Amino acid sequence: MKKNLLLTLLLTLSMLTSLANARFFLGIDGGYSMDKVDVKTEDKTTYTGTNTIVTPGSFTKNAYLGNGYLFDINLGTEHHFDKNNYVGFRWFLAGGYGRTTLINQSNNLIKYPSSIIEANLGLDLLLDVIKFGNNSVGLFGGIEATGLNVFSMQKDTVIFDTPEIQARARIGLSLFLADHHRIEFITKIPVYTLNGDENIYKPLQFMLGYKYVF
SS (H, E, C) the chain: CHHHHHHHHHHHHHHHHHHHCCEEEEEEEEEEEEEEEEEECCCEEEEECCEEEEECCCEEEEEEEEEEEEEEEEEEEEEECCCCCCEEEEEEEEEEEEEEEEEECCCCCCEEEEEEEEEEEEEEEEEEEEEECCEEEEEEEEEEEEEEEEEEEECCEEEEECCEEEEEEEEEEEEEECCCEEEEEEEEEEEEEECCCCEEEEEEEEEEEEEEEC
Q: What is the mean pLDDT of residues 164-180?
A: 97
- pTM score, whole prediction: 0.81
CB-based burial of residue 54 (10 Å sphere; 0-12 exposed, 13-18 middle, 19+ buried)?
Answer: exposed
Query: 23-213 is classed in which CATH architecture?
Result: Beta Barrel (2.40)
Averaged pLDDT of the chain: 87
Task: Give tens-digit pLDDT for 69-118.
Answer: 999 999 999 999 888 889 999 999 999 999 999 999 999 999 999 999 99
Residue 2's φ and ψ, nearest 5 degrees, are -65, -35
* pLDDT the model gives residue 3: 61
3-state secondary structure 56-73: CCCEEEEEEEEEEEEEEE
* pLDDT the model gives residue 15: 56
Distance CA 214, CA 205 (A): 27
Q: Look at residue 56 and tell me whether its pLDDT is greater than 50.
A: no
* pLDDT the model gives residue 50: 58
Q: Look at residue 8 and tell me whether its pLDDT is greater than 60.
A: yes
* pLDDT the model gives residue 45: 47
Domain boundaries of the chain, sorted by first residue: 23-213
Q: What is the mean pLDDT of residues 176-180?
A: 96
Task: Give tens-digit pLDDT for 126-151.
Answer: 999 999 989 999 999 999 999 999 99
Characterize 152-169 residue by residue with b for buried, 16 or more Cβ atoms within 10 angstroms of its Cβ, and e for exposed.
beeeeeeebbbebebebe
